């Protein structure tokens, strides 16, 4: 089922879409307060800080805190929160957690959202400009323009895009969702879809679902222009968080300029040893339909070669 925008303003759309997901009411206002945004003041621009500057959204994932949710015997809750909040089609994981071998032995976990590249190969190759950057730097897909050629999927070096092979079977309350590139619900058959940093929530001064869903608070949403980041329980100085923890970017040598940063680790902040062999649990879908895994495709998940990148975890993960 595809809906037109019906002339709604972006602010009106956010109010409608927020009502479809009850958990959004519980989302923190820490980041909103720190940025000094006045959501209720209609004189404020739809995006941008109080001083009028555009945002420069980024994500920081602290691998010292990420233990794959194995210590609480559950599927990765960042993935589960994303699935539940976006009615993600069965089989798709817009933020997927992988296991990777550490150079010094043992395994670490690696949550992988869309990397929101500044020099995004997907944007560069799209023949119909269906994928584009928002003015805050988030890579979006307009499914009303997407022709399903999947050139963007071939171009993405992170394999973080998915193709909607069929019309998904979704819960009844998904019928109330109003489609927008900022909130691509419901999914449209024959188009490419992916993580969009919960752009609809960011515009309303709220944190993404994965950030709020992480019980270990390993995920931070940051604004590089304001130099702050929040995981929902604290607000920190972004540059200090990155600089003091040996932050790295996945495949940064490709020149994509990804807006996702990792802090090395293996879940040790919650007592997990790198040698811990407890496996990840699969997320759960409350609906059926044709998922990404149902059809053979050349665009496979190759993020496992993360472990072959020399030094990206390095000695810092052994500290």
pLDDT tens per residue, range 245-280: 999 999 999 999 999 999 999 999 999 999 999 999
Instruction: Report residue 315 as tokens.
Output: 């000695």
How does residue 117 score in pLDDT terms, banded at 50, 70 and 90?
Answer: very high
Is residue 296 exposed (0-12), middle (13-18) or buried (19+ Cβ within 10 Å)?
exposed
Q: What is the pLDDT of residue 291?
A: 52
Instruction: Give me the percent of the chain exceeding a pLDDT of 70.
Output: 74
Q: What is the pLDDT of residue 52?
A: 63
- Given a cut of 90, whether residue 50 has pLDDT beyond it is no
Find, among 206, 200, 186, 113, the residue nearest to 143 by Cα: 186
- Given a cut of 60, whether residue 169 has pLDDT beyond it is yes
How does residue 301 score in pLDDT terms, banded at 50, 70 and 90?
Answer: very low
Instruction: Report residue 118 as tokens.
Output: 């500044």
Q: Is 153 part of any domain? A: no
Q: What is the pLDDT of residue 112?
A: 98
Q: What is the pLDDT of residue 102?
A: 87
Q: Find the mean pLDDT for residues 201-211.
A: 96
Note the Cα 201 to chain centre separation in Å: 12
Q: Find the mean pLDDT for residues 130-138.
A: 97
Q: Find the mean pLDDT for residues 204-226.
A: 97
- Given a cut of 60, whether residue 316 has pLDDT beyond it is no
Q: Is 314 part of any domain? A: yes
**What does the DSSP 8-state code read for residue 48?**
S
Q: What is the pLDDT of residue 122?
A: 98
Q: Is 91 part of any domain? A: yes
Q: Report the relative pairing of strands 260-263 and 57-62 from DSSP bridges.
A: parallel
Q: What is the pLDDT of residue 13?
A: 33
Q: pLDDT tens digits, residue range 136-151?
A: 999 999 999 999 999 9
Q: What is the pLDDT of residue 81?
A: 98
- Given a cut of 60, whether residue 221 has pLDDT beyond it is yes
Q: Is 264 part of any domain? A: yes
Q: What is the pLDDT of residue 49?
A: 52
For 252-279, b/e burial (b = at least 16 CB within 10 A) is eeeebebbbbbbbbbbbbbebebebeee
- Given a cut of 50, whether residue 319 has pLDDT beyond it is no
Q: Is 64 part of any domain? A: yes
- Given a cut of 90, whether residue 315 has pLDDT beyond it is no
Q: What is the pLDDT of residue 175?
A: 82
Q: Is 208 part of any domain? A: yes
Q: Find the mean pLDDT for residues 56-85.
A: 97
Q: Is 269 part of any domain? A: yes
Q: How far apart are CA 283 and CA 169, in angstroms?
A: 17
Q: What is the pLDDT of residue 305?
A: 44
How does residue 51 score in pLDDT terms, banded at 50, 70 and 90?
Answer: low
User: Where in the sequence is the domain holding 280, given as residue range(s)?
Assistant: 28-113+198-318
Q: Find the mean pLDDT for residues 153-161.
A: 97
Average pLDDT, the chain: 81
How does residue 48 score in pLDDT terms, banded at 50, 70 and 90?
Answer: low
Q: What is the pLDDT of residue 12?
A: 40
Q: What is the pLDDT of residue 45?
A: 35
Q: Is 226 part of any domain? A: yes
Find, among 145, 191, 230, 170, the residue nearest to 20 by Cα: 170
CATH number at residue 250: 3.30.70.20
Q: What is the pLDDT of residue 3?
A: 38
Q: How many domains does the chain have?
A: 1
């Amino acid at each position: 089922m595809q809906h037109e925008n019906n002339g709604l303003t972006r602010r009106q759309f956010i109010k409608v879409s927020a009502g479809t997901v009850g958990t959004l009411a519980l989302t923190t206002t820490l980041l909103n307060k720190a940025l000094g945004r006045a959501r209720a003041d209609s004189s404020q621009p739809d995006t941008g800080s109080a001083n009028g500057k555009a945002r420069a959204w980024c994500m920081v994932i602290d691998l010292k805190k990420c233990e794959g949710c194995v210590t609480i015997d559950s599927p990765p809750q960042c993935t589960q929160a994303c699935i539940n909040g976006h009615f993600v089609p069965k089989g798709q994981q817009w933020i997927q957690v992988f296991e990777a071998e550490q150079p010094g032995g043992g395994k670490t976990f690696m949550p992988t959202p869309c990397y929101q590249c500044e020099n995004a190969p997907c944007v560069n190759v799209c023949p119909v400009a269906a994928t584009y950057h928002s003015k805050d730097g988030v890579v979006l897909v307009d499914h009303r323009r997407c022709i399903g050629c999947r050139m963007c999927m071939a171009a993405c070096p992170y394999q973080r895009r998915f193709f909607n092979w069929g019309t998904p079977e979704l819960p009844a309350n998904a019928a109330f969702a109003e489609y927008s590139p900022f909130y691509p619900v419901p999914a449209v058959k024959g188009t490419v879809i992916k993580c969009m940093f919960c752009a609809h929530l960011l515009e309303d001064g709220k944190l993404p679902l994965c950030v709020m869903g992480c019980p270990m608070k390993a995920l931070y949403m940051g604004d590089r222009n304001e130099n702050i980041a929040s995981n929902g329980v604290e607000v920190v100085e972004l540059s200090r968080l990155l600089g003091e923890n040996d932050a790295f970017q996945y495949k940064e040598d490709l020149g994509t300029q990804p807006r996702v940063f990792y802090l090395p680790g293996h879940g040790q902040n919650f007592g997990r040893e790198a040698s811990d062999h407890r496996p990840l649990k699969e997320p759960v879908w409350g609906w059926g339909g044709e998922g990404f895994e149902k059809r053979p495709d050349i665009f496979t998940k190759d993020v496992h070669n993360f472990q072959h990148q020399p030094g990206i975890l390095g000695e810092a993960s052994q500290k």
